[in-house]
Amino acid sequence: MIAPGTRVRVRDDWPETRGPCHIRTPHYLRGETGTVTRHLGDFPNPEDLAFDRPAPRLPLYHVQFDIRRLWADGTPGADLLVEVFEPWLEVTS
């Protein structure tokens, strides 16, 4: 489990280029860095459920991003809170 306060990077991966898939991680977050604020629980992987495959339970987190790092015209001091499954997160140092 990733502890609240941990800095993470969203994997810069594009599985949709390798074939049919169902991705639950927004494109605009891939490669971006944020901070885990909360573990929301463990849930069946929706990327497997979409294809009626067995879906392992995966940790789901709230990850907070500085909106100005995502969009230059974002409101200074504003944050974006997004739910991201653990396989998409890399702990940064």
Backbone angles phi, psi at 52, to 5 degrees: 55, 35
Q: Write down the pLDDT at residue 15.
A: 83
Successive 10-residue mean pLDDT values, the chain, 93 residues: 97 84 87 98 93 95 95 90 96 87
Contact 16, 37 (CB under 8 A): no
Confidence at residue 14, expressed as pLDDT on a 0 to 100 scale: 85
As a residue count, the chain comes to: 93
Q: What's the CA gap between 24 and 91, in Å, rounded?
A: 19
Report pTM.
0.90
| Predicted pLDDT at 17 | 82
Residue 1: predicted pLDDT = 92
